[in-house]
């Protein structure tokens, strides 16, 4: 592992984006940032502008209106960057997966690195998701393709 990789693993500044969420996941993200969990131990920090960010924590099912803003936000974030989907909604649209008002999940708009499912996910789960995105913990499950059982 080179020194630069090490720097990226030890310092990750996140920017919180609400893409039409019900506020449940947003409150869980705020819980993750409290002294109780103390994410500064892992070098994780909430920043206030996408220019400083290394990762975007996106909540919500991505409504039609927010799509443009989300793309602009992604462009405003300097490379290299990660997108982490927090909650059931950005993972697959949640209960709005087939609504005309949403785009049914974040993967339809941005390349997602890690999904943190849950409605809302626990703070531990969000921390685990960020750690997984950085490769700090072993991956437990892998992507599965659907196969017809004959």
Partner 1 sequence: MSALDVTAAVFYTLVFPGLLFTGVVGLLLTWVDRKVTAIVQSRVGPPWYQPFADVGKLLAKRMVIPRGAPALGFLAAPLLAITGATLSAAIVFQAVFKPEEGFIGDLIVLVYLTALPAIGLIVGGASSRSPFGAVGASREMSLILAYEAGFLLALSTVVVHAGSIRLADVNLAQLLEGPIVWSPSGLLAMAVLLVCVQAKLGFLPFDISEAETEIIGGPLAEYSGVGLGLFKLSRAMMFLVLPALVVVLFWGPVTATPASLVAFLAKLLVVEVLLIVAKVTHARVRLDQALRFFWGRVVVVGLLAAALAVIGL
Closest by Cα among 2, 4, 12, 3 to 136: 12
Residue of 30, 48, 72, 124 interacting with partner 1 (CB under 8 A): 48
Residues numbered 62-91 forming contacts with partner 1, rule: CB under 8 A: 76, 78-80
Q: What is the DSSP letter of 107?
A: G
3-state helix, strand, coil in the chain (%, to 5): 40, 15, 45
Q: CA torsion 22→27→33→36, rounded to 10°?
A: -150
Please, which residue, 79 or 148, has the CB nearer to partner 1?
79
DSSP string, 59-93: ES--BTTHHHHHHHHHHHSPSS-EEEEESHHHHH-
Q: Which of the stretches 23-31, 41-49, 58-66, 132-140 binds partner 1 when contact is defined by CB under 8 A?
A: 41-49
Residues numbered 20-39 forming contacts with partner 1, rule: CB under 8 A: 35, 38
Please, which residue, 46 or 107, has the CB nearer to partner 1?
46
Q: Please, what is the minimum distance in Å from the beta carbon of residue 22 to partner 1? A: 24
Residues that bind partner 1 (CB under 8 A): 3-4, 6-8, 10-11, 35, 38, 40-41, 43, 48-49, 51-52, 54, 76, 78-80
């Amino acid at each position: 592992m080179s020194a630069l990789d090490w720097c990226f693993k030890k310092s990750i500044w996140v920017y919180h984006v609400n893409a039409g969420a019900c506020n449940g996941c947003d409150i869980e993200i705020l819980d993750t940032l409290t002294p109780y969990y103390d994410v500064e131990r892992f070098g994780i920090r909430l920043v206030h502008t996408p220019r400083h960010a290394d990762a975007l924590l996106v909540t919500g099912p991505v409504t039609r209106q927010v799509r443009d803003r989300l793309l602009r936000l992604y462009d405003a974030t300097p490379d290299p960057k990660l997108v982490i989907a927090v909650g059931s909604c950005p993972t697959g649209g949640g209960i709005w997966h087939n609504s005309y008002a949403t785009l049914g999940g974040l993967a339809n708009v941005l390349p997602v690195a890690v999904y943190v499912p849950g409605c809302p996910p626990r703070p531990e789960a969000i921390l685990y998701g960020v750690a997984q995105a950085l490769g700090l913990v072993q991956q437990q499950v892998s992507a599965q393709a659907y196969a017809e059982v004959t």
